[in-house]
Amino acid sequence: MNLSQLPKLDTSTQAFFRFRSLPNTKTVLLTGLEGNYLVLKDDEFARFAQGAVEKGSPLEKRLSDANFLRATFDTQKAADKWHDRRRFLDYGPNLHILVVTLRCNESCIYCHASRANMDAVQTDMSKETAEKAVDLIMQSTNPNVTIEFQGGEPMVNFPVVKHVIEYAREKNKAAKKQLEFTMVSNLSLFDDEKLKFLLENKVQICTSIDGPAHLHDKQRKMPGGSAHQTAAHWIKKINQAYETMGLDTTLYHVEALLTTTRDTLPLWKEVVDTYAELGCRALFLRPVDPFGWMEKTAQRVEYPRAEYMEFYRNAVDYMLELNRKGTQILERFASIFLTKILVDDPNFLDIRSPAGPGIGQLGYNYDGKIVTCDEGRMLYEGGDPSFVIGDVRTSTYRQIVGHETVRAMAIASNLDQQPDCVNCTYNPYCGTQTTHHHKNFGSIFGRMRESTLCAVHKGIQDYLFERIGQDDPAVMDVFTKWTTVRPRDHFLQDAAKG
Amino acid sequence: MSEPFKNPLVSTDLSKGSVLLEVDAAVYPLEALYGASYVFIDRAFVFLEKPNEQRYRVTISPKKPGADEAALQALVGEFSNELLSCAWRAQITQANRAVIEAVTLRAVAGAMGPPSLSELANFDFTDAPLEDPLGIAMSWEEKYKKKDKKPDAPVAAAPEKTAAPEKT
Amino acid sequence: MTRVSFDRSLYQGPCVDEAVKTFSAHASFQLTEEPKAWVVQLDAKTPELERQIAGELGNYALGLTIRTRGSRTP
């Protein structure tokens, strides 16, 4: 359906709307400024666009309820919702990434972080640098603060990880933040003592699983062993520990991330099965990014995004089937977009407008350099310092978040200034990554029609709205579960105790 | 077999390793031309000319010499896409300026928070010279006082040049 | 010798000057003014080097003009 196909338009009755034909469904999606939406059949859309909706008809009621009619437009509701969806603007960075080392004992074909060899001790963060980073973190205007340990493999520099946790807890006695810690690890350097420390200190644990063992081990080389077997062993052990501690294992479990390579694409069923067998209840079907080693390995690893979307649809269809049969597993992209569509903005930093760099997250490199985001430090390690905005030794908090690069990124990731996005039906739910554009186009603005990121975001939202439009109660039941955010209070540090 | 499409606004010069693009000044504002040019200065030499009021002329030469016809066509194609994108963005930002500024201000102010006492103590409260391009801060006498009339620079139409830099 | 003619309506004079100063160690430069252009003639050791310096000079002057002017015309 296309407006030019309609013989006569009367634009006097509609409120503001954007529209998009949903592929192969004979339906049209409408979205409004505040994130309201409606899926119409082609003939219903024609009547809407022609200003020929019958008075008192069910269609008129649906349009009115969804705030798409000028006569009944609820300005207050729209304004409140628009404001609510952007309440993240009122607070500073909540995600603080500490790159405690670049050293790593695994070697991944797509390594975005440009890992260093195990003897490269010069890439370890010192305790002094870590303390200065924590001092800055505690000045964030955000009452919620998560310190995320990344690498390399952060467990390589475990003494500094321990020190940061103890130092931050001590500092938090005065700062009184809702403080959390996350460890992003390949798990291979875990031992019982380290696990005990992490569990006692309520550190969330997150790892990478690239699918079935043969694929994981092919992509993530670990000298002298199977990276998959090791990760699987510790995932089960950690999940068991949560159970022993009396925690609800549907809520508390190891989070795992997938990096989708060309070899992953035919293995959508095996990937989902692997996650389900490991007890991972969330699967994030992330495509590869252009950072780090991808510059050299892209020819072997990259793929057209149309093929990725086929993979994505197959995998999520299969996950829906598993859910109907009682296995709880969700896809993270779907969960983020569905929450935006059906409930509210979940403040996912990479998919929001404006996006998170600088104003929602900060990165602290092992050498003390402060970057706008995780991708910023990946580029820095590759020799591009464009997203370095300070140094823990010399910068003040307000200098960092008020940096001109942060402001430029906030403007460039605002969809209301972006060609294509400004008219896109998915504008209320979407977001772009300036670092991605910088790498691919040489400009933080990028060009959406040529962006792989845009292709993925549009493709996923097409899929979700097709499913929503079908209105299958079983699917909608699963979708509703995927949008239910249950707080994981166990991971909150007790500010009073330090 | 049909001839490959030749864009009359584009010409390549393999001997100089450069491609030349004529840009309609009525369609593409200078803002957009600057924006697109800036994106390319890390990989190519970009030179701008204005042969007449209606046209800009852009010469793009890859920094690495020896580009063939296909590489030059691809480069100018990408430049044209970027130029179009910048032109549209210039329009959008003008139309949405208020909302973009409001959101950015709220985001940066929300992240920065109020200044601390020590930051206020170090703040320079002396009046820095303000830029005043419209002369708003000037007195009427200052603004309209008689100036020493200097002869206008000659404005005879310069002959159209070939793409610079040119070898002499 | 390479001659680069910077149109006054597109390049700011001080930015061209600054660019010449920046590259002055790498070639010899001669600056002249024409009614509609700032003209720079440069000599370098080899034609390849001259191409590179002329190109970088142009980029530098352009980048500086864009940076300096903000949203105003030159």
Per-residue pLDDT of B70-126, as tens digits, reads 999 999 999 999 999 999 999 999 999 999 999 999 999 999 998 888 878 877 776
Q: How far is CA C4 from CA B45, B47, B76, B79, B162, in A?
A: 13, 9, 21, 22, 11
Poorest-pLDDT segment among B46-55, B57-66, B139-148? B139-148
Tell which wins on pLDDT, B132 or A33. A33
C-alpha span between B141 and A367 (Å, rounded): 58
Residues in chain A: 498
pLDDT of residue B137: 58
Q: How many helices (H) and strands (E) does chain A have?
A: 18, 15
Q: Is residue B153 over pLDDT 50?
A: no
**Residues A188 and A105 sit within 8 Å (Cβ to Cβ):** yes
Instruction: Collapse the DSSP code of A115 into the 3-class scheme (helix H, G, I; strand E, B; otherwise coil) and give the result.
Output: coil
- Site from B16, B38, B47, B152 to mutate, C interface, most C CB atoms within 10 angstroms: B47
Contact (CB<8Å) B112/A450 = no
Distance CA B116, CA B112 (A): 10
- The secondary structure element, H or E, covering residue B83 is helix B69-95
Question: Which pLDDT score is estimated for B157?
Answer: 39
Choose among C38, C57, C43, C29: nearest CA to B167: C43
Q: Looking at the structure, do residues A39 and A126 belong to the same domain, yes or no?
A: no
- Given an 8 Å threshold on Cβ–Cβ distance, is B40 in contact with A442? yes
Q: Do chains A and C touch (3 or more CB pairs under 8 A)?
A: no
A–B CB contacts, 8 A cutoff, strictly below: 86
CB-CB contact of A40 with A47 (8 Å): no
Same domain, A119 and A71: no
Tell me the pLDDT band of B166, cut-offs 50, 70 and 90: very low
Confidence of residue B162 (pLDDT cuts 50, 70, 90): very low
The model's pLDDT over C32-67, given as tens digits with 9 standing for 90+, comes to: 999 999 999 999 999 999 999 999 999 999 999 998
Position B4 confidence tier, pLDDT thresholds 50, 70, 90: low
Note every long-range contact of A32-35, with CB atoms under 8 Å and residues 24 or more positions apart, other chains counting: A32/A66, A32/A67, A32/A68, A32/A78, A32/A428, A33/A78, A33/A82, A33/A428, A34/A67, A34/A77, A34/A78, A34/A79, A34/A81, A34/A82, A34/A85, A34/A428, A35/A81, A35/A82, A35/A85, A35/A340, A35/A341, A35/A428, A35/A429
C34 falls within a domain: yes
DSSP B166: E
- Measured CA to CA, the distance from residue A10 to residue B143 in angstroms comes to 52
Residue B37 has φ and ψ, to the nearest 5°, of: -60, -45
User: Does C41 sit within 8 Å of B165, measured CB to CB?
Assistant: no
Q: Are residues A70 and A166 in the same domain?
A: no
Which backbone phi and psi does B5 adopt, to 5 degrees?
Answer: -65, 130
**Is there a contact between A121 and A70 (Cβ–Cβ < 8 Å)?**
no
The answer to whether A468 touches A29, Cβ cutoff 8 Å, is no
B159 has pLDDT over 50: no
C74 within a domain of the structure (yes/no): no
- Per-residue pLDDT averaged across B146-151, rounded? 52
- Domain spanning B10-112: which CATH class is it, in words? alpha beta
Looking at the fold, whether A81 and A209 belong to one and the same domain comes out as no
Residue A168: CATH number of its domain = 3.20.20.70
Q: Is B111 close to A406, i.e. CB distance below 8 A?
A: yes
Q: Which domain holds residue A61?
A: 3-85
pLDDT at B41: 95
For residues A4 and A43, what is the distance between their CA atoms, to the nearest angstrom? Answer: 14
Last residue of a domain, one of A85, A100, A123: A85
Q: What is the mean pLDDT of each run of 10 residues along chain A (498 residues)?
A: 77 92 90 96 94 95 97 95 93 97 94 91 97 98 97 96 98 96 97 97 96 96 94 96 92 93 97 95 93 87 96 98 95 96 93 97 98 96 96 97 96 95 96 96 93 96 95 96 86 75
SS3 assignment for C25-70 = CCCEEEEEEECCEEEEEEECCCHHHHHHHHHHHHHHHHHHHHHHHC
User: What per-residue confidence (pLDDT) applies to B134?
Assistant: 55
Which of B38, B40, B111 shows the shortest C-beta gap to A93? B111
C1 vs B30: CB contact, 8 Å cut-off? no
Q: How far is A487 from chain B (nearest CA, A)?
A: 24
Give the chain C residue nearest B53 (alpha carbons): C9
C7 vs B: CB within 8 A? yes
- For residues A55 and A94, membership in a common domain is answered with no
A contact chains, 3+ CB pairs < 8 A: B
Separation between Cα atoms, residue C6 and residue C3, nearest integer Å = 10
What pLDDT, on the 0 to 100 scale, is given for residue B156?
A: 40
- The per-residue pLDDT for B128 is 58
Domain coverage including residue C51: 2-69
Region B34-49: mean pLDDT is: 96
Based on the fold, state whether residues A81 and A107 are members of the same structural domain.
Answer: no
Q: Is C61 on the interface with B (CB under 8 A)?
A: no
**Domain definitions of chain B by residue range:** 10-112
Helix (H) or strand (E) holding A21: strand A18-22
Chain-centre distance for alpha carbon A201:
25
Minimal CA separation from B122 to chain A, in Å: 13
Asked whether the CA dihedral A412, A415, A420, A423 is positive or negative, the reply is: negative
Q: What pairing do the DSSP bridges indicate for beta strands C37-43 and C2-7?
A: antiparallel
Q: Structural domain tally of chain C? A: 1
Omega within 30 of 0 (cis) for the link into A354? yes
- Which parts of A365-428 are beta strand (E)? 369-371, 388-391
Spatial distance between the Cα atoms of C60 and C66, rounded to a whole number of angstroms: 10
Q: B40 vs A416: CB contact, 8 Å cut-off? A: no
pLDDT digits (tens, 9 = 90+) for C5-32: 999 999 999 999 999 999 999 999 999 9
Does the beta-carbon distance from C10 to B48 stay under 8 Å?
Answer: yes
Range picked from B12-16, B134-138, C58-62 for highest mean pLDDT: C58-62
Domain holding C52: CATH number?
A: 3.30.1370
- State the pLDDT at residue B146: 57
Q: Which of B82, B92, B93 faces A447 most closely, judged by CB atoms?
A: B82
How close, in Å, is residue B48 to chain A by CA atoms? 19
Q: Say yes or no to pLDDT of B161 above 50.
A: no
CA angle A6, A12, A15 (to 5 degrees): 95
Closest by CA to A287, choosing from A267, A317, A307, A316, is A307
Supply the pLDDT for residue C9: 95
Using the predicted structure, report yes or no on whether residue B147 has a pLDDT greater than 60: no
Helix (H) or strand (E) holding A59: helix A58-65
Residue A4 burial by CB count (10 A; 0-12/13-18/19+): exposed, middle or buried? exposed
Q: Looking at residue A299, what is its pLDDT? A: 87
Do A120 and A72 have their domain in common?
no
Inter-chain contact B96–A422, Cβ cutoff 8 Å?
yes
